[in-house]
Chain A
Amino acid sequence: MFKTAIQHIKRAPFQALAAILIMSLIFFIIGSFVLLAAGSEKVLRYLETRPQVTAFLKDDIKPQQIELLKSKLETTGKVQKIKYVSKEEALAIYREENKDNPLLLEMVTAKILPASLEISAVNLSSLPELAKLLKEEPIVEEVLFQEDVISTLSSWVVSLRKAGIFLVLFLSLISIVTILIVIGMKISSRREEIVILELLGATKSYIRFPFIIEGMIYGILSALISWGLVYISLLYATPFLVNFLAGIPIFPISIIFMLEILGGLILLGILVGGTGSFYAVRRFFKKN
């Protein structure tokens, strides 16, 4: 059956090529979108783990007061992590961030930098509440939190996921129709051959399977081509993306993840190719 399917492809290579190229383009869009969605998800996860509320503390605070505030925050049950940053640590961070600008380093000492508490919330929705609680504390000088950035990004990721599912379904449908048309044309051009096979005692499945396998081969080849293109594009865009996402450790993308995408595309290819050709063959037998 596999041999017959290969023979079918060899006999009409341009039809096969057209189907493979169209499907490769579609799978390339799907593959790129999956990468984009996964990347956004990773950026969001990263930002969620960063301190979302920073409370700068007044000078000359006693350690007991800080511990008291920490335990007060923990009892709310809305805090995932609290980190105390002392004046010395703040200076170290400042120095690291401005190491290329000696003029800025000269003027700053630990004394003028405030100590702070960096807080991550379990849920982003509780950020305003935590910020309010901190503002009311007498030992807190100032409160900073990035509610807008994270919630906007979060809603983007949700929309991206929804759009992605719709896009994958819609593009898969286009692939199925493409296969249905190409395999349908091939079946029609071999109508006489099918009639001969039937007269010689071939079962419907004997006639059907090579066409279904042919559709699956188109799917697999398209998946391989599109994955290769996605990977090459990703490698090409990596320097730009690393700059663009400065500080967010997404790159390098793990090869395991890329292989997972390849597996997914091959599976989709088999499914789409098999379904398209199955319906093409079924349509032929219904008509005849």
Chain B
Amino acid sequence: MIKFENVTKKFGLITALDDISFEVRKGDFVFLIGPSGAGKTTVIKLILKEFLPTQGKVIVDGEETRRISPKKIPLFRRQIGVVFQDFKLLPDKTVLENVALPLQIRGILEKEILKKAEEVLNKVGLWERKDLFPSQLAVGEIQRTALARAVITKPKLLLADEPTGNLDPINAQQLIKLFKEVNKEGTTILMATHNAELVNFLKERVVCLKEGKIVFDEEKGKYKLD
């Protein structure tokens, strides 16, 4: 699903990623761990083609991101659901409107959108709060809204950048359960996180980055930074 081949990404003199290679297979659940500044967010942004690698290849679902023309970027991004580190919810849209946005962008009919939004909001337990604005929600609810928006299109790939940051352990557990459910339905998940407890609890594959390099890549790994 995702393949990094000798990828290096430099921002001026700073090397964010240094010749890394790894692969995420279809249906995998992979944690990307590492200290702040290790390059986790850069990996996610490279997959989304927010920018291109300085060297190497990033291949997503068989397509090398460098070869995707600017016109095709929207279609490419529609295959990917993202839960952003800062949520990126639109503050003047309600929970329902935020969650419905990816479907509206695809030009789906209102009736169909409402049906799917109800389904996904029920799944994350936010249907009752559908008419509230992000500023009226608790942090855990905001994160669940972001997840609902990311999965409403049933994407092939779900990227999550620190989705449990700022969450108390109970809320974090609930959110991770939702991610697991999405993964069971066939969606590949790549999650960048600092949450050692969750990584250790789920015992999924762990890729650890440090100073732009892969330190280890273990199946059923644990959270360790050395």
Report B74 CB to chain A, min CB distance, Å.
Answer: 5
Task: Write out, one digit per residue, whether chain A residues 164-202 have a CB within 8 A of any chain B CB (1) or not (0).
Answer: 000000000000000000000000000001001111111
Report B156 CB to chain A, min CB distance, Å.
Answer: 13
From 199 to 246 in chain A, residues with beta carbon under 8 angstroms from any chain B beta carbon are: 199-204, 206
Binds A, one of B75-83, B129-137, B167-175, B192-200: B75-83
A50 at the interface (CB under 8 A from B): no
Chain A residue numbers with a CB within 8 Å of B82 are: 199-200
User: B88–A199 contact, CB under 8 A?
Assistant: yes
A11 at the interface (CB under 8 A from B): yes
Q: A196 contacts which of B78, B90, B92, B106 (Cβ < 8 Å)?
A: B90
| Bound Cα distance A75, B10 (Å) | 93
Q: What's the count of A-B pairs with C-beta under 8 Å?
A: 37
| Bound Cα distance A175, B84 (Å) | 40
Q: B102 contacts which of A11, A198, A201, A203 (Cβ < 8 Å)?
A: A201
Chain B residue numbers with a CB within 8 Å of A11 are: 92
| Bound Cα distance A199, B84 (Å) | 10
User: B105–A202 contact, CB under 8 A?
Assistant: yes
Chain A residue numbers with a CB within 8 Å of B149 are: 200
Q: B78 contacts which of A193, A201, A204 (Cβ < 8 Å)?
A: A201
Report A287 CB to chain B, min CB distance, Å.
Answer: 15
From 78 to 108 in chain B, residues with beta carbon under 8 angstroms from any chain A beta carbon are: 78, 82, 84, 88, 90, 92, 101-102, 105-106
User: A196–B88 contact, CB under 8 A?
Assistant: yes
Interface residues on chain B, number (Cβ under 8 Å): 18
Report A14 CB to chain B, min CB distance, Å.
Answer: 16
Report B96 CB to chain A, min CB distance, Å.
Answer: 14
| Bound Cα distance A201, B75 (Å) | 6
Q: Which residue of A lies closest to B84 (CB)?
A: A199
Report A3 CB to chain B, min CB distance, Å.
Answer: 10
Task: Write out, one digit per residue, whether chain B residues 140-161 have a CB within 8 A of any chain A CB (1) or not (0).
Answer: 0000000001000000000000
Chain B residue numbers with a CB within 8 Å of A201 are: 74-78, 102, 105-106
Chain A residue numbers with a CB within 8 Å of B73 are: 198
Report B119 CB to chain A, min CB distance, Å.
Answer: 19
Chain B residue numbers with a CB within 8 Å of A202 are: 74, 105
| Bound Cα distance A204, B48 (Å) | 17
| Bound Cα distance A196, B90 (Å) | 8
Report B86 CB to chain A, min CB distance, Å.
Answer: 10
User: A193–B105 contact, CB under 8 A?
Assistant: no
Chain B residue numbers with a CB within 8 Å of A206 are: 74, 105
Task: Write out, one digit per residue, whether chain B residues 46-83 have a CB within 8 A of any chain A CB (1) or not (0).
Answer: 00101000000000000000000000011111100010
Chain A residue numbers with a CB within 8 Å of B92 are: 11
| Bound Cα distance A199, B51 (Å) | 12
Report A97 CB to chain B, min CB distance, Å.
Answer: 72
User: A199–B90 contact, CB under 8 A?
Assistant: no
Report B109 CB to chain A, min CB distance, Å.
Answer: 14
| Bound Cα distance A109, B197 (Å) | 121
Report B20 CB to chain A, min CB distance, Å.
Answer: 23
User: B105–A200 contact, CB under 8 A?
Assistant: yes
User: A200–B90 contact, CB under 8 A?
Assistant: no
Report 29 cross-chain contacts, Cβ distance below 8 Å, ordered by A residue.
Answer: A11-B92, A197-B101, A197-B105, A198-B73, A198-B74, A198-B77, A199-B50, A199-B77, A199-B82, A199-B88, A200-B77, A200-B78, A200-B82, A200-B101, A200-B102, A200-B105, A200-B149, A201-B75, A201-B77, A201-B78, A201-B102, A201-B105, A201-B106, A202-B74, A202-B105, A203-B74, A203-B105, A204-B74, A206-B105
